[in-house]
């Protein structure tokens, strides 16, 4: 058997897992591991400029590919800098492996240089974590970590490695395990057939059905099954912020997003529905509005792989615990077996009602006649310029909601945003992680002048590794979403929501060796897009788009109300 050092075992284990890129930052406690990296070329290391960005890169990669992203950082500050990124991945159930260096075992607990209790600090925001006690554990631990991160409801796993576990001269027998068994961990493999029958019967008898699908459909790679089911039934579908793209947004049956900034028609249809089929969604507070007033007439079927998601906030009538793809396959089989058609007359009149709601609002917004771009127009321009086929990695705020509403995603895994944690600074490094792995695809970071400054330093990484993402910055000079809330709830007192002293964005981009373009008026947008994806196709382009600072995101649900209580514009309420 081969004799390897701990550092070599770690790198070899990553290779065995098919890892191509590791995103990270070296430091004292990981020097042996970085030396092992240096001596091979199958696993490549990307040196970021801040550890948080490494986690978001790994995260973006994971969201685009469904495979776990791998992060490697040193102990102490290196480890603590990953916390926001781990929490981001945890909240959105993204598979990720975070390898953190640790001080020598005998120094643990002594407040040694760059020591921090990473196991303790990360505990509430990981699916699981491991601390290596002996070099010979490394292979099996890595195998377990990948298994846990990617199965069931995915999530981040931390592996904490003291420096003395990776000593170059301390060599042990190594063979990477083919399989791993964890006696206390068995994610559900199939939904309960009795529950599925009950659910299908309820669904077929519905008069005002709604399908409400979430990020679980994307994570569970069940987009194809979802499309089949929705089309077969001819029922309307709404998708959560995390679920966009699982069902094509441009399709007639799609009512768009639901919830706080959901479409008028989706929220109205949810409120009036009699049967809701929730698929891989978790009744988040940004979806339900007041739980006690949520969809008063609806019987609810809920499919989720995580039993703790069931009846956590909204009590459901028929829970089904299982992987979304296999449960939806069973749904389709069950529909065929039962052989009953939905109530065509009821569904027809339900669609008629929905079309009326669609006509009333349907994503309308006022356009300026003073030449100043509306953010919605900017996103629509981006959608057209990219044929709706780009990977859109968003930061957090108004631009995120505008992108979710106006960039019509027709494919899964193309909309990448921090939906659960709402991490500003996520979009740019996430886009880098995607672009690095899909060099031929258009990858755009939609951001604002607030969010982009939270990880702006990564422009340097992009130059070093040749990662030509496009940064599409909707610049309104304000922390737009904060300002919107202050306008609506604090009589316009803009407390600390104005971004003063902004840099010259084009000069900033140029100083990092990239291209900057300013879009100051409506008529400059198209030309800028053409340059961005044409002339500068292979360059990082920072497009600084001046947009109307007064604009709000609508619809917006009225707090503590029902699904149908919404502001539709600054002056119109339901």
Residue 128 binds another protein (CB under 8 A) = yes
Task: Please pick, among 20, 67, 114, 499, the residue that the annotation labels catalytic.
Answer: 114
CB of 131 to another protein, least distance (A): 7
Task: Please pick, among 143, 163, 299, 522, the residue that the annotation labels catalytic.
Answer: 163
Residue 367 is a catalytic residue:
no
Adjacent-strand bridge partners of 172: 4
Axis crossing angle, helix 83-91 with helix 51-65, rounded to the nearest 10: 20
Query: Which one among 170, 306, 317, 441 touches another protein, defined by CB under 8 A?
Result: 306
End-to-end CA distance of the chain: 71
Adjacent-strand bridge partners of 69: 96
User: Given the complex with another protein, which of 182 and 364 has the nearer CB atom?
Assistant: 182
Adjacent-strand bridge partners of 353: none
Site string for another protein, 264-303 (x = CB under 8 A): ----------------------------------------
Cα torsion through 265, 268, 273, 276, rounded to 10: 70
- Residue partners of 531: CB distance under 8 A and separation at least 6: 517, 541
Q: Are 314 and 248 in contact (CB under 8 A)?
A: no
CB of 115 to another protein, least distance (A): 17
> Which region among 88-96, 125-133, 448-456, 545-553 touches another protein (by CB under 8 A)?
125-133
CB of 116 to another protein, least distance (A): 15
Q: Return the structure tokens found at 50.
A: 């801040």
User: Given the complex with another protein, which of 164 and 377 has the nearer CB atom?
Assistant: 164
Residue 140 binds another protein (CB under 8 A) = no
Residue 144 is a catalytic residue:
no
CB of 217 to another protein, least distance (A): 21
Residue 181 binds another protein (CB under 8 A) = no
Residue 463 binds another protein (CB under 8 A) = no
Residue tagged 């290779």 (tokens): 15
Query: Which one among 151, 253, 311, 518 touches another protein, defined by CB under 8 A?
Result: 311
User: Given the complex with another protein, which of 123 and 573 has the nearer CB atom?
Assistant: 123
User: Given the complex with another protein, which of 172 and 312 has the nearer CB atom?
Assistant: 312
Q: Return the structure tokens found at 312.
A: 């956590």
Cα–Cα distance measured from residue 82 to residue 95, given in angstroms and rounded to the nearest whole number: 15
User: Given the complex with another protein, which of 184 and 495 has the nearer CB atom?
Assistant: 184
Cα–Cα distance measured from residue 409 to residue 249, given in angstroms and rounded to the nearest whole number: 5
- Residue partners of 59: CB distance under 8 A and separation at least 6: 69, 85, 88, 89, 94, 96, 426, 430, 433
Q: Are 242 and 257 in contact (CB under 8 A)?
A: no
How far from 496 is each of 477, 480, 493, CA to CA, in Å?
12, 11, 9
Residue 307 binds another protein (CB under 8 A) = yes
Residue 312 is a catalytic residue:
no
CB of 398 to another protein, least distance (A): 31
Cα–Cα distance measured from residue 287 to residue 557, given in angstroms and rounded to the nearest whole number: 10
Q: Are 50 and 455 in contact (CB under 8 A)?
A: yes
Q: Which DSSP category does 466 fall into?
A: T
Adjacent-strand bridge partners of 159: 99, 130
Largest CA distance in the chain: 76
> Which region among 122-130, 241-249, 336-344, 446-454 touches another protein (by CB under 8 A)?
122-130
Residue 51 is a catalytic residue:
yes
How far from 18 is each of 70, 262, 301, CA to CA, in Å?
11, 39, 38
> Which region among 49-57, 115-123, 261-269, 336-344 touches another protein (by CB under 8 A)?
115-123
CB of 58 to another protein, least distance (A): 21
Residue 192 binds another protein (CB under 8 A) = no
Cα–Cα distance measured from residue 393 to residue 319, given in angstroms and rounded to the nearest whole number: 33
Query: Which one among 31, 119, 167, 332 touches another protein, defined by CB under 8 A?
Result: 119
Q: Return the structure tokens found at 302.
A: 């809920």
Query: Which one among 179, 183, 345, 493 touches another protein, defined by CB under 8 A?
Result: 183
CB of 184 to another protein, least distance (A): 4
Task: Please pick, among 8, 51, 265, 458, the residue that the annotation labels catalytic.
Answer: 51
Q: Give me Rg for the CA atoms of the chain.
A: 25
Upper half-sphere CA count for residue 374 (Cβ side, 13 Å): 15
Residue 136 binds another protein (CB under 8 A) = no
User: Given the complex with another protein, which of 80 and 311 has the nearer CB atom?
Assistant: 311
Query: Which one among 18, 38, 106, 182 touches another protein, defined by CB under 8 A?
Result: 182
User: Given the complex with another protein, which of 148 and 222 has the nearer CB atom?
Assistant: 148
Q: Are 553 and 365 in contact (CB under 8 A)?
A: no
User: Given the complex with another protein, which of 307 and 559 has the nearer CB atom?
Assistant: 307
Residue 106 binds another protein (CB under 8 A) = no
User: Given the complex with another protein, which of 187 and 549 has the nearer CB atom?
Assistant: 187
Binding residue count for another protein, defined by CB under 8 A:
20
Task: Please pick, among 113, 337, 355, 359, the residue that the annotation labels catalytic.
Answer: 113
Residue 113 is a catalytic residue:
yes
Q: Are 525 and 543 in contact (CB under 8 A)?
A: no
> Which region among 76-84, 305-313, 356-364, 445-453 touches another protein (by CB under 8 A)?
305-313
Query: Which one among 40, 42, 308, 511 touches another protein, defined by CB under 8 A?
Result: 308
User: Given the complex with another protein, which of 91 and 557 has the nearer CB atom?
Assistant: 91
Cα–Cα distance measured from residue 247 to residue 225, given in angstroms and rounded to the nearest whole number: 10
How far from 497 is each of 66, 264, 482, 491, 501, CA to CA, in Å?
36, 28, 6, 14, 13
Catalytic site residues?
A: 51, 113-114, 163, 481
Residues binding another protein (CB under 8 A): 119-120, 123-124, 127-129, 131, 148, 182-185, 306-308, 310-312, 315
């Amino acid at each position: 058997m081969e004799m390897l050092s701990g550092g070599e075992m770690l790198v070899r284990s990553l290779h065995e897992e098919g890892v191509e890129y590791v995103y990270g930052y070296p430091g004292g406690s990981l020097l042996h591991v970085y030396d092992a990296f240096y001596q091979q070329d199958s696993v490549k290391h990307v040196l970021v400029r801040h550890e948080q960005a490494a986690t978001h890169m790994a995260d973006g990669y994971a969201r685009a590919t469904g495979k776990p992203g791998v992060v490697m950082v040193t102990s102490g500050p290196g480890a603590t800098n990953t916390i926001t990124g781990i929490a981001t991945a945890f909240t959105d159930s993204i598979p990720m492996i975070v390898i953190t260096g640790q001080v020598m075992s005998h120094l643990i607990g002594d407040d040694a240089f760059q020591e921090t209790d990473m196991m303790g600090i990360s505990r509430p925001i990981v699916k699981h974590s491991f601390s290596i006690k002996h070099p010979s554990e490394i292979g099996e631990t890595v195998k377990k970590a990948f298994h846990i991160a990617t199965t069931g409801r995915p999530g981040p796993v931390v592996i904490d490695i003291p420096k003395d576990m990776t000593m170059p001269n301390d060599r042990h027998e190594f063979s990477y395990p083919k399989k791993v068994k964890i006696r206390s961990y068995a994610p559900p493999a199939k939904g309960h057939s009795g529950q599925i029958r009950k659910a299908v019967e309820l669904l077929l008898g519905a008069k005002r059905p709604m399908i409400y699908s979430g990020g679980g459909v994307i994570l569970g790679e069940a987009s194809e099954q979802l499309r089949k089911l929705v089309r077969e039934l001819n029922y309307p579908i709404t998708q959560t912020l995390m679920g966009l793209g699982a069902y094509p947004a441009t399709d007639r049956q799609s009512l768009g997003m639901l919830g706080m900034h959901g479409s008028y028609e989706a929220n109205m249809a949810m409120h009036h529905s009699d049967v809701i089929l929730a698929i891989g969604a978790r009744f988040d507070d940004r979806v339900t509005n007041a739980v006690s007033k949520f969809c008063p007439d609806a019987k609810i079927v809920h499919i989720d792989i995580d039993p703790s998601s069931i009846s956590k906030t909204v009590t459901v009538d028929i829970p089904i615990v299982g992987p979304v793809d296999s449960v939806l396959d069973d749904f389709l089989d069950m529909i065929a077996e039962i052989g009953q058609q939905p109530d065509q007359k009821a569904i027809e009149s339900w669609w008629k009602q929905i079309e009326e709601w669609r006509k009333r609002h349907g994503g309308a917004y006022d356009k300026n006649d003073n030449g100043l771009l509306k953010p919605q127009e900017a996103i629509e321009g981006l959608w057209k310029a990219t044929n709706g086929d780009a990977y859109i990695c968003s930061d957090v705020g108004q631009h995120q909601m505008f992108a979710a509403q106006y960039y019509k995603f027709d494919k899964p895994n193309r909309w990448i945003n921090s939906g659960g944690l709402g991490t500003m600074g996520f979009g740019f490094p996430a886009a880098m992680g995607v672009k690095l792995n899909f060099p031929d695809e258009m990858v755009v970071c939609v951001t604002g002048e607030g969010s982009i400054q939270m990880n702006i330093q990564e422009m340097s990484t992009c130059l070093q590794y040749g990662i030509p993402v496009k940064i599409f910055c909707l610049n309104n000079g304000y922390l737009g979403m904060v300002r919107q809330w202050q306008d609506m709830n604090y009589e316009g007192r803009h407390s600390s929501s104005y971004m003063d002293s902004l840099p010259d964005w084009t000069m900033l981009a140029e100083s990092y060796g990239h291209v900057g373009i300013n879009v100051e008026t409506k008529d400059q947008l198209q030309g800028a897009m053409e340059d961005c994806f044409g002339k500068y196709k292979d360059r990082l382009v920072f497009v600084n788009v001046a947009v109307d600072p007064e604009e709000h995101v609508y619809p917006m649900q009225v707090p503590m109300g029902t699904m149908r209580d919404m502001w539709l514009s600054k002056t119109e309420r339901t």
